[in-house]
Amino acid sequence: MAMHPIVRFGDPVLVTPTTPVTRFGQRTEALVRDLLDTVDAPGRAGVAATQIGVGMRVFSYNVDGRIGYVINPRIAERSAETQEGDEGCLSVPELWYPTRRAQRAVVTGVDLRNEPVTVEGAGLMARCLQHETDHLDGMLYIERLDPDTRKRAMRDIRRSSWFLPDAAPSPAPSPSLPSAFGGAG
């Protein structure tokens, strides 16, 4: 088992767009295994490769008994209907803010054989798919907050016991599943 520590807010890998996977060999297989092992901890709904310090376009998910991964994901569809709920992030631990997301989302990508895959869901799964794809685009959920909430979030981050701008990343605590992405849905 290769559960990796989660990279925290302040690390440049979290705000750097990822590189698409073009070679499907042992390295990619190892990354997918590591992501699946890392997302398998209690309270984790999704883990992007950037959250374990890897700038490749891959994420894993673990929502309502559905566990899997997507390589080179892109949002193919979002519903016009939205959900609003408290959202959190393993890379911004212990802090949750109201975040608007599409109620339903569809992600397309490929698997380890470079075969097309589609993952879709509503509620928490839709929130997860959007959140993890944002990570791979170099965007943290706090960038989606309204200006006043974002200002509060940045202040809360600076005051957090885990936020040390010059410190090396350390493992983030695993929030409970409803807290990881919020209970909206």
Tell me how far CA of residue 183 lies from CA of 57, 86, 92, 124, in angstroms.
Answer: 27, 7, 17, 7
Contact 162, 11 (CB under 8 A): no
> Which one of the listed residues 84, 87, 115, 132 is annotated catalytic?
132
Would residue 81 show up in a list of annotated catalytic residues for this protein? no
- The dihedral built from the CA positions of residue 61, 67, 72 and 78, taken in this order, carries a sign that is negative
Three-state DSSP string of 113-174: CCCEEEEEEECHHHHHHHHHHHHHCCCCHHHHCCHHHHHHHHHHHHHCCCCCCCCCCCCCCC
**Which residue is associated with the tokens 């979002």?**
78
Torsion angle of the four alpha carbons 89, 147, 153, 120, in this order, in degrees rounded to the nearest 10? -10
Q: Which residues are catalytic?
A: 132
